[in-house]
Structure 1
Amino acid sequence: MGQDVPTRSERAAAGRAVRAAVPRGALADPGVTTGRADPVGLVVAQEATRVANLLPLRHRRMAASPFAFYRGSAVVMAHDLASVPATGLTVQLCGDAHLANFGLYASPERRLLLDLNDFDETAPGPFEWDVKRLVASVELAAREIGAPAAGRRAAVVATARAYRVAMRGFARMSTLDVWYARLDADRALVEQARPAGGRAARRTERALARARRRDQLSAVGGLTTVEDGVRRFVPDPPLLQTLDGLVGPERAGAFRDGLGDLLRGYRRTLPSDRRHLLDRYRLVDVARKVVGVGSVGTRAFVLVVQGDDADDALVLQAKEAQRSVVAAVLGTRGPAQEGQRVVEGQRLMQAASDVLLGWQRTAGVDGVARDYYVRQLRDWKGGFDVAGARLPGLTAYGRACAWTLARAHARSGDRVAVAAYLGGGDRADEAFADLAAACADRTEADHAAFAAAVRSGRLTGVDA
């Protein structure tokens, strides 16, 4: 229980006092320019512990566009932000809060929610780091769809304003009401899109329907086949590789046993009722699956577990958790187990987390101990199609993501102090918009350097 908790007025005064050290206009500062770390070098250094034969695929995906590069280069922005004075208003950061890391998923009550869905970089840190990461992604996404400068700025300002207004709303709410707040996608996303016109609302409704179809049945049916009454993964290299194809038939058994040990250890991190649920299933097959853009090269496995028969199956994902780039730059310490860091950050920030979310450390066939977190591969999951968006829909989605981010921060940090720091006017909104434009310019230059490195052979790239 908290002791000697400051009053609301004391917390608000503390938030306003931060403006003396970090004026709201300073939120526009994108970080050091002279002596800035080489962005390509930072990406390469991060890859030292990744699967080498997957790195060409990662490079190709990141080289596709500035927005794609941004998705895979949280390490670069973390180094830039570390050179800027921070507010010290600490929350649990997502650490990589760009538009593509928000999405749709099912709550345990089977409601479709919008929330953050990637926590690989989560760590405690200054709230503005996540907001800056989000608004810069809105600017980059707007550039990618060819939006004019005035429209881009309006979208970014709307996103920043939505965060500020939401945080001020949460500051007036009780702690318990904040904890229970969530964005019901069925209602809120359609309402956000409706002012943009019928087309945006229809696209939103179709996205919601697609998310509902992306459930465990679609994962099982799309990735596996039945052989002699048992579910087996269908190989699709390099995106999905069975153990026989990955390590050879002679080593596949030992590898499968190691992942079986991971599953048994992970079981201990679940609440007792979830352990009971998991015990109804047995592991029948394992494969390696490539996921995302920035995550390519980290070890990610899918495990099909089967219950009564081949039709009673689900797919779990065990994804390697490495050191958070945010924690590394800030020098913060968390759980010694990186999978535990990811899971605890996710549970703190999300309105409702996967019922089978847990973690475990295990040694692979190479004998190296690695940390993993485990979750269902799909449970009504869906995302926002940036490439197919129009500016009104992008703006509406940016506002929804901003509300979601504010709710996550309000759960973990001092919402009253953050709201007081941001204030009731638009000074912070405009500063965040200036920051977004500067970061987008920098990202475009970084992407050009990265793509040139791929073309020159410094980095290898292959078709995705």
Structure 2
Amino acid sequence: MSAANTMLTARTTRATKSSRPNGQSARAVPHLAPAERARLGLAARAALPPRAQAELVLPSDRPDPVALLEEQARSLVPELVPVRHGRMTMSPFAFFRGNALGMATDLGAAPVSGLGVQLCGDAHLSNFGVFASPERRLLFDLNDFDETIAGPWEWDVKRLAASLTVAGRGNGFSRKERRTCVLETVRRYRDASADFGTMRTLDVWYARADVDEVEQTLRNKLSSSRRKTIDQSLLKAHGSGSLKAVTKLAEITDDGVRIKADPPLIVPIADLLPDPGREELETAIRGLMNLYRRSLPNERRILLDQFEFADMAWKVIGVGSVGTRCWIVLLRGRDDGDPLFLQVKEAGPSVLRSKVPTVLRRRSAHRNEGERVVVGQGLTQAASDIFLGWQRVEGIDGQTRDFYVRQLRDMKGAVVEKMDPRGMTMHGRLCGWTLARAHAVSGDRIALTTYLNSDDAFPEAMVEYAEAYADQNERDYQVFLDAIKSGRLEAESGL
């Protein structure tokens, strides 16, 4: 691929150990008394009553959804744009997942409460799931942070509520069933926020949804068939570590362990470049990995140093992420049976960056988009990957590009959108608790609790908002399909 060839001339810039720019002193943080923080929540509630958030407010000059996709495509790998569009054609929910920029544009047109948090930025239901903590326990948590940024807390909740309704429609749920799903999800967010509002600061930070405890709760409430589905999901998560990745993605050759080719989704560097060029690229890759190493804490650097480079491949991932520059790097520890797969993924600006009201924008503590993702993930996720880091590269396609690095598979598993109403409601409640925890860590949890109160004003508002946005999503999806049919957009299906 053309982007891979440009790696040959890539120049790297040094990643420094501190996320604070040189000479910048620590920022003084105001500490208000609980009563003062509660008054902030009451003031926000008066300025924008929770019930008012039911209205779907769209920009007066709302751009054509196809034009937004064309705008995004200009920063993506051209060969992969049709694959991205093909995956988005699968359903209104697949389109919703890939159209984060479209919803960000719409969210930016509506009034906000004025209470800020570190947003996940793309909190749809498929971006929650099961993964392993550094202690090797399975946790339920958020697992995608490409769009993370400081902004209004309600944007995450609206994205989650709308995703439940869009997915519910796709699964044939009745309006009453969709209402129950969204209502219970947002109520759980509200109630969990209230709990976090009374907790000590460190207790909030350490709170997490341990899957062993979650599993027992679900078992007591679900039918035997649903319990079987949960068991299968957990088994899949337990079996999706590095050894599983090697079985699926790699093979032993005369030259040692190497990544299997599966073009155009996985293309090893051996298939991208001839031998002389490959050697030069591998040298550049080792340089990049060394710079990434500098973004890790000292003890993690020592751990990483026990692995050596074995192979690298171009990989297509996700739906909305298709077209971003993404590589997988295979490292070898003691021998070929001691693997580590890392994912090196491009980090562009968050789709929400220009939409966040000025009053809620934080002075940036990061100097590149890869670091933004890493810092945002650390703030919103209960336990992050021990190999999470970043790097900046100059010279790719003549541009400077940012990347973040993490383990490709680390006992990850997600519950897909194909669920029955009861299963999706249970999943939604877990998502609601998880999102509340993420917001409580980075925002004013007392002000937020006061804003939400204990009534159903906000949950009911989200039911109405989600239905209205699902209607809009279906209209945009049809415009998207028409653009493909007319030839305006190119789509490649089946990949």
Query: Under a length normalisation based on structure 2, what TM-score does the superposition of the two structures give?
Result: 0.91
Structure 1: segments with no counterpart, 5+ residues: none
Matched ranges for 1:77-226 at <5 A: 77-192=103-218, 194-226=220-252
Query: Within 2, Cα distance between the matches of 1:367 and 1:248?
Result: 22
Return closer, same or farther for 1:123/1:367 CA change in 2, 3 Å cut-off: same
- 1:60 matched residue in structure 2: 86
Given candidates 360, 364, 376, the residue that maps to 1:345 is 376
Q: Which residue of 2 aligns with 1:425?
A: 455
Question: Where does residue 392 of structure 2 map in the other structure?
Answer: 361
Partner SS state of residue 326, structure 1:
coil
Q: What stretches of structure 2 of length at least 5 have no aligned partner? A: 1-26
Aligned to 2:407: 376
Q: Supply the AA of the counterpart residue of 2:130.
A: L
CA contact (8 A) 1:91 1:413 kept: yes
Q: 1:434 & 1:380 partners in 2: Cα distance?
A: 36
Return the offset for 1:433.
Answer: 0.8
2:72 equivalent to 1:46:
yes
Residue equivalent to 1:438? 468
Partner of 1:246: 272
Indicate which of 319, 328, 332 corresponds to 2:354. Answer: 328
1:194 Cα shift?
A: 3.6
Q: Deviations over 1:423-446 (max 9, x none)?
A: 100010000111110111111111
Structure 2 counterpart of 1:17, from 22, 43, 49: 43
41, 53, 58: which is aligned to 1:27? 53
Q: Distance in 1 between matches of 2:468 and 2:275?
A: 52
State the shift of 1:2 in Å. 6.2
Q: In the superposition, relative to structure 1, how do residues 110 and 428 fare at CA in structure 2: closer, same or farther (>3 Å)?
A: same
> Corresponding residue for 2:429?
399
Question: Contact 2:119–2:150 (CA<8 Å) still a contact in 1?
Answer: yes
Amino acid at match of 1:121: E
Does residue 1:410 correspond to 2:440, yes or no?
yes
> 1:232 maps to what in 2?
258
Greater Cα offset, 193-202 or 315-324: 193-202
CA contact (8 A) 2:59 2:109 kept: no
- The structure-2 alpha-carbon separation of the partners of 1:443 and 1:416, relative to structure 1 and needing over 3 Å to count, comes to same
2: distance between equivalents of 1:453 and 1:75? 18
Shift of 1:365: 5.5
Offset, 1:368: 2.8
Give the distance between the partners of 1:252 and 1:194, measured in 2 at CA: 55
Does the residue aligned with 1:292 lie in a helix, a strand or coil? coil
CA gap 1:314/1:194 in 2 versus in 1, 3 angstroms: same
2:18 maps to what in 1?
Answer: none
Distance 1:192 1:11 in 2: 35
SS of residue in 2 equivalent to 1:286: strand
- Residue 102 of structure 1, CA deviation: 0.8
Structure 1 residues 140-149 or 25-34, which shifts more? 25-34
- Looking at structure 1, the residues matched to 134 and 199 of structure 2 have their Cα atoms a distance apart, in angstroms, of 24
Q: What letter is aligned with 2:380?
A: M
Q: Are the equivalent residues in 2 in contact too, given 1:179–1:351 (CA < 8 A)?
A: yes
Partner SS, residue 459 of structure 2: helix
Q: Distance in 1 between matches of 2:381 and 2:105?
A: 26
Query: Are the structure 2 counterparts of residues 269 and 191 from structure 1 closer, same or farther at C-alpha, using a change threshold of 3 Å?
Result: same
Match of residue 72 from structure 1: 98
Secondary structure at the residue paired with 1:270? coil
How big is the shift at 1:248? 4.9
- The answer as to whether partners of 1:27 and 1:435 remain within 8 angstroms in 2 is yes
- SS of the equivalent of 1:10 reads helix
CA distance in 1, matches of 2:315, 2:228: 32
* 2:305 equivalent to 1:279: yes
Q: Note if 1:262 corresponds to 2:288.
A: yes
1:265: how far off? 0.3
Equivalent pair of 1:93/1:130 in contact (CA under 8 Å): yes
Structure 1 residues 249, 52: CA separation in 2 closer, same or farther (over 3 Å shift)? Answer: farther
How far residue 364 of structure 1 moved from its aligned partner, in angstroms, is 5.4
Partners of 2:426 and 2:62 lie apart in 1 by 34
Deviation at 1:104, TM superposition (A): 0.8
Aligned to 2:486: 456
- Aligned to 2:172, the other structure's residue is in SS state coil
Deviation at 1:370, TM superposition (A): 1.0
